[in-house]
Amino acid sequence: MKQQFDNHDERIRYYELMLERDLEGILYFPLPEGYRYVFYQDGDRDHWIDIEKSAKEFTSYEQGLESWNKYYGGRESTLTNRMVFIEDAEGRKAATATAYYDVRKIDRSGDGWLHWVAVRREYQGQGLAKPLITHVLDIMRKLGYTHAKIPTQTTTWLACKIYLDLGFRPIPQNAVHSRDGWRIVKALTNHAALDMFDAAKADEIIRD
């Protein structure tokens, strides 16, 4: 594609995407030197919002607070062994992800859900995403889950590529309902795992 897209780009047509894979056999990617993992502690809510806002998941603190309350409000006690942050050598929180479940209770499979993966803007490109994801998936496995799902979207197409690299694949039902979304990801990544999709054309990628 000649058009250059940001890793979180609102110009891209929006489709909800869902991926899945078993949790056995996940490859482990070590953190770069100078970083460490820490679990959620009381008072980390605003750090989470700040990271997600930096990664363009939210446009305002208020939007982040609304999402926090929707997914984690009243459940903070469950986060102490599920929500992970990466800290740098100075103790600044650089990234986050959570080994969670479908709080909406729509998915009754009992599968784990990888929640809200984000790397602070200035730390992107430093090799944090795959270590973070695989670390949190290992936590999910140790919590007793055998299968994981990841909700994402076309606007974060580069994250989709990372998930595909890690062996996640489109959930069959989602591959049908969001076929045009996967065609967009195919066009932007040319990932071999999406060979069953034809690549979207340029005018099918950009929002009207």
- Tell me what pLDDT residue 1 has: 46
pLDDT digits (tens, 9 = 90+) for 151-174: 999 999 999 999 999 999 999 999
- Tell me what pLDDT residue 106 has: 85
H-only helix segments in the chain: 45-54, 61-71, 129-142, 157-165, 172-177, 179-189, 202-205
Residues forming a β-bridge with 113: 100, 149
Q: Locate tokens 């996967």: which residue? A: 182
- Tell me what pLDDT residue 2 has: 57
- Tell me what pLDDT residue 107 has: 84
Domains and CATH numbers, the chain: 25-145 (3.40.630.30)
Contact 13, 154 (CB under 8 A): yes
Kindly give the parts of the chain with pLDDT less than 70.
1-3
Beta strands in 68-164 (DSSP E): 83-87, 93-100, 112-119, 147-153
